[in-house]
Structure 1
Amino acid sequence: MEIKITRDTMSDIYFDALKIRNQVFVKEQGVPYELEVGNSVEEASSVHFVLYDDGKARGTVRLLADMNKHSALVQRMAVFAEDRHKGYAKSLFNELLLFSEKSYFTTLTLHAQLSARGFYAQFGFEEVGEIFEEAGIQHIGMEKKFN
């Protein structure tokens, strides 16, 4: 297993991330493609993580730093359906957390689909605010502060 990181939106790593996101969010969950990959500035400003196993991309997540560089937004966490429950998401998320600590972020935030909030809670994320709808799916804001 290997996790690759890129900021290059012309790289093979980024295109692998898009393939996973397209399958999970657009095809499985019905999120319009324009919403999923509609903001090219966010795409280019993000750090994209892709987990590979046996030479195949299995999961992805991206991290978008705020302008102040002290906090970041975790987005687009996705693993192919056939690769779920194999520990890939945990490995990917642990790598993102290590990267975030090394980058001296003080706070990470995310919008968790309600079905995934338990996953993020195990990494120390706490729910903030009220449940809201995003792309037709119920979400809750979550936050983790680093000491």
Structure 2
Amino acid sequence: MSKPAFRVIDADYERDLALLRAVREPVFVIEQHVPLALEWDTLDPECRHVLALDAEGRPIGTGRLTPMHTIGRMAVLADWRGKGVGDALLGRLIAQARAADWPAVSLHAQIDAIGFYRKHGFVTEGGIYIEAGIPHQSMTLDLTSHGN
């Protein structure tokens, strides 16, 4: 059985806002009950965004890289989870951070996603905390080593 066809592109916040919304709102606002006012912030226009698109060009996943060297708003539509979309999105964001010569990148992982990020070399830091009503754990990836 072949993997479903999708591609990851660099997105432009203003041009691709409707595509970003088509992923982030169903995942965060509808599924996870994050208030809409918390989902969209003033940082969004300053971030580098990536989009995963299916074979027909429909948005299926997204993530962002902030100026503070963090990865955030990683989301994949339910029907596409477990099919490599999150791996491809995270890989693209890590590659962008490396290209910018960042020494490390960090993120706030939802507890259920810690294993996913560990698989990519992230390590946990500190204790568990609540963000937008959801338990999270801070994680960091050292970009100075060559194994990631």
Q: TM-score, normalised by structure 1?
A: 0.90
Does the Cα contact within 8 Å between 1:59 and 1:89 map onto a contact in 2?
yes
Query: Which consecutive unaligned segments of at least 5 residues does structure 1 have?
Result: 67-71
Which residue does 2:46 correspond to in 1? 45
Which residue does 2:3 correspond to in 1? none
Which residue does 1:58 correspond to in 2? 60
Query: Which consecutive unaligned segments of at least 5 residues does structure 2 have?
Result: 1-5
Partner-residue secondary structure (3-state), 1:65 = coil
Q: Which one of the candidate residues 25, 33, 38 is aligned to 2:36?
A: 33
Alpha-carbon shift at residue 58 of structure 1 (Å): 0.9
Does the Cα contact within 8 Å between 1:9 and 1:15 map onto a contact in 2?
no
Partner-residue secondary structure (3-state), 2:91 = helix
Alpha-carbon shift at residue 23 of structure 1 (Å): 0.4
Could you report, residue by residue, the CA deviation over 1:48-67 in whole angstroms, capped at 9, with x for unpaired residues? Answer: 1001121211100001022x
Could you report, residue by residue, the CA deviation over 1:33-81 in whole angstroms, capped at 9, with x for unpaired residues? Answer: 00001x22x0111011001121211100001022xxxxx1110000001
Which AA in structure 2 matches 1:17?
Answer: L
List, as ranges, runs of 4+ consecutive aligned residues in structure 1 with deviation greater than 2 Å: none
Which AA in structure 1 matches 2:25?
Answer: N
Partner-residue secondary structure (3-state), 2:121 = coil
CA distance in 2, matches of 1:33, 1:127: 28
CA distance in 2, matches of 1:100, 1:76: 16
Alpha-carbon shift at residue 2 of structure 1 (Å): 2.1
Alpha-carbon shift at residue 133 of structure 1 (Å): 0.2
For residues 74-113 of structure 1, the aligned pairs below 5 Å read 74-113=71-110
Which AA in structure 2 matches 1:10?
Answer: E
CA distance in 2, matches of 1:108, 1:18: 24
User: Is structure 2 residue 9 aligned with structure 1 residue 9?
Assistant: no
Which residue does 1:20 correspond to in 2? 23
Could you report, residue by residue, the CA deviation over 1:3-35 in whole angstroms, capped at 9, with x for unpaired residues? Answer: 1213x4320x33211220000000000000000
CA distance in 2, matches of 1:94, 1:138: 24
For residues 113-132 of structure 1, the aligned pairs below 5 Å read 113-132=110-129
Which residue does 1:69 correspond to in 2? none
CA RMSD in angstroms comes to: 1.0
CA distance in 1, matches of 2:141, 2:13: 27
Q: How many residues align?
A: 138
